[in-house]
Amino acid sequence: MHSPQQLIENLLQGTGIGINGPEPWDMTVHDERTYSRILGQASLGLGEAFMEGWWDCRALDEFFFRILRKRLDKRLPFNLSAFLQVLKARLFNQQTRSRSKIVALRHYDIGNELYRHMLDKRMIYSCAYWAGAETLDEAQEHKLDLICRKLKLETGMRLLDIGCGWGGLAQFAAEKYRVSVTGVTISEQQAIIARRATEGLPVNIRLLDYRDLHEQFDRIVSVGMFEHVGYKNYRTFMQTAGENLADDGIFLLHTIGGIESVKNTDAWIDQYIFPNSMVPSAEQITGAIKGVFILEDWHNFGLDYDRTCMAWLKNFNRSWPELSNRYDDAFYRMWTYYLNMCAASFRVKKNQLWQIVLTKPGRLAGYRSVR
């Protein structure tokens, strides 16, 4: 009978990853229980063992790239915890009004200082657009301007920002394109910063669930929020956006997209980073917009998210001496694991980044794509 270590070594064959080897993407195992934990809990066990210091890797992004390229995450033995997570996602709506606030409390509200150190000067927590940019600040400015140009913003328009984060897009659109902006978020900490960032501008930041919106806007945008909506609510989200958009309006959806249709997320990500989240597929999105919107443009620049995550990781590591007064070593290991895993998922194209432009059937004007 093979030992747990031998079983893991057999699984790793063909990935180029060794155990206690010389390559920067090799696993350095400090605790022999690591192997059994991975076999018993799959992704959750692998991540928790890393957080607890049972194993290390000098180049985690390259480790995950090799794991995901060979789809090793699909080859691990059956484990009960993962099965129960899938079952729960299928049976229950994990993103009801009350449950939707869980991710705000456990991720976005864990400290504005963390995000201020990690992100760009506008605190944009979504994929940057690196074409022609050298720095993260430049790449995020390029992304914000790209969104505004795709929305065809004009002076005096009313813009709704669903999931407005720390207010960076609302501030940019109000300053550069002279529109009035209503931003909604369910994160109290984000709302505090967003209101401060947009003070003196025609911007209204509301602590509100998107399902409670009943107004009319010339343009609607949602950046990095759709990943928290959940497949049971995709149709509701689209219908809500449609009801709040003027007949001749434009809606831009900026979201991570997956190559497969799923109904739950990675077990470790669900437990420690984004509770109740899931990445939509193209099939799920097109199904949700049927009869509500017309697809005008679909732009994929997922590889830019790899570079964005690595820029965030660099900022996080550089700022850790200051942040370590507020967070412990387990948090440091968790956060570096998260950013490296995400970067690799885009590098291998398991995840993509989509900007989708939608209009209502009643809009007769043509739409020319912007890049």
Active-site amino acid positions: 342
Quick count: other Cβ atoms within 10 Å of Cβ 291?
Answer: 11
Cα–Cα distance list, 100 to 93, 135, 147, 205, 328 (Å): 10, 33, 26, 18, 27
Cα–Cα distance list, 208 to 25, 40, 97, 102 (Å): 43, 40, 10, 14
DSSP string, 315-365: HHHHHHHHHTTTS-HHHHHHHHHHHHHHHHHHHTTSEEEEEEEEE-TT--S
In the chain, what's the furthest Cα-to-Cα distance? 72
DSSP string, 171-191: HHHHHHH--EEEEEES-HHHH
Copy the structure tokens of residue 366.
Answer: 């043509």
Amino acid at 162: I
**CB distance 258 to 226 below 8 Å:** no
Rounded to whole angstroms, the Cα distance separating 263 from 86 reads 7
